[in-house]
């Protein structure tokens, strides 16, 4: 019997996003540092640009913890987010994220299952293991958490930054300017 998306997500709604501490996830980390959520979508060109910028910005701000969270608002989002979270659980999260963004936006490949698997294989992941992980309970928990974050902060567009438990979406402003204001130069 196949579960509906709603039943699937409701059944897993009590869990946490991987590596996201229980205490202080938006106003700081458990160790006292500051953090932010980057709510993104693999199909969003602005998110791709921000991901490229963050690769340069984050190493310059080691006191800031970054949590990428895929928006969950459509069935397609579920598939893409599941692949990203599965890659994270398999130890290739950021590499997969960058490679999938590149495949979709630079190489102009469709955001479909074939591309998800090809990107995983290009990083040395076994496609069957990726698919099994995508279908597992850990990924289901991460998807439920993403959907809750999307609802809680009423996120309707990407990229959106969540800093100190406040959703920040200012399309007319560069997201890096917002991060500089929040965390310093």
| pLDDT, tens digit (0-9, with 9 covering 90-100), for 132-144 | 999 999 999 999 9
pLDDT on residue 31: 55
pLDDT per position as a tens digit, 146-157: 999 989 988 888
Rounded Cα distance, 91 and 86, in Å: 9
Domains of the chain and any CATH numbers = 37-164 (3.40.30.10)
Q: 31-56: per-residue pLDDT in tens?
A: 567 899 999 999 999 999 999 999 99
Indicate the pLDDT class of residue 30, thresholds 50, 70 and 90.
low
- Which tops the pLDDT comparison, 32 or 159? 159
- Considering only CA atoms, which of 157, 183, 148, 164 is closest in space to residue 13? 148
For the chain, how long is the longest CA-to-CA vector? 53
Is residue 22 classed exposed, middle or buried when 0-12, 13-18 and 19+ CB atoms within 10 A define those classes? exposed
Query: Residues 29-51, buried b or exposed e (16+ Cβ, 10 A)?
Result: beeeebbbbbbbbbbbeebbebb
Q: What are phi and psi of 147, to 5 degrees?
A: -65, -40
- The least confident of 10-19, 64-73, 91-100, 165-174 is 10-19
Residue 74's pLDDT band, with cuts at 50, 70 and 90, is: confident
Question: What CA–CA distance (Å, rounded) separates 28 from 50?
Answer: 21
Bigger pLDDT: 51 vs 10? 51
Q: What is the pLDDT of residue 56?
A: 93
Mean pLDDT, rounded, of the chain: 84
The whole-number average pLDDT for the span 54-64 is 94
pLDDT at residue 104 greater than cutoff 90: yes
Task: Give residues with Cβ within 8 angstroms of 175, minimum separation 6.
Answer: 50, 53, 159, 161
């Amino acid at each position: 019997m196949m579960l509906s998306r709603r039943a699937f997500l409701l059944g897993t709604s009590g869990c946490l996003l991987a590596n996201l501490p229980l205490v202080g996830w938006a106003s700081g980390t458990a160790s006292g540092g500051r953090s932010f959520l980057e709510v993104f979508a693999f199909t969003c060109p602005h998110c791709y640009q921000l991901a490229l910028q963050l690769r340069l910005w984050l190493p310059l701000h080691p006191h800031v913890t970054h949590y990428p969270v895929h928006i969950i608002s459509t069935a397609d989002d579920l598939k893409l987010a599941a692949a990203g979270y599965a890659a994270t659980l398999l130890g290739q999260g950021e590499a997969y994220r960058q490679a999938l963004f590149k495949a979709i936006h630079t190489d102009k490949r469709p955001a479909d299952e074939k591309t998800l698997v090809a990107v995983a294989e290009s990083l040395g992941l076994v496609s069957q293991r990726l698919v099994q992980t995508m279908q597992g309970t850990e990924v289901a928990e991460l998807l439920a958490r993403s959907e809750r974050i999307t609802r809680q902060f009423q996120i309707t567009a990407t990229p959106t930054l969540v800093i100190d438990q406040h959703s920040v979406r200012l399309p007319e402003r560069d997201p890096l300017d917002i991060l500089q204001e929040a965390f310093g130069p």
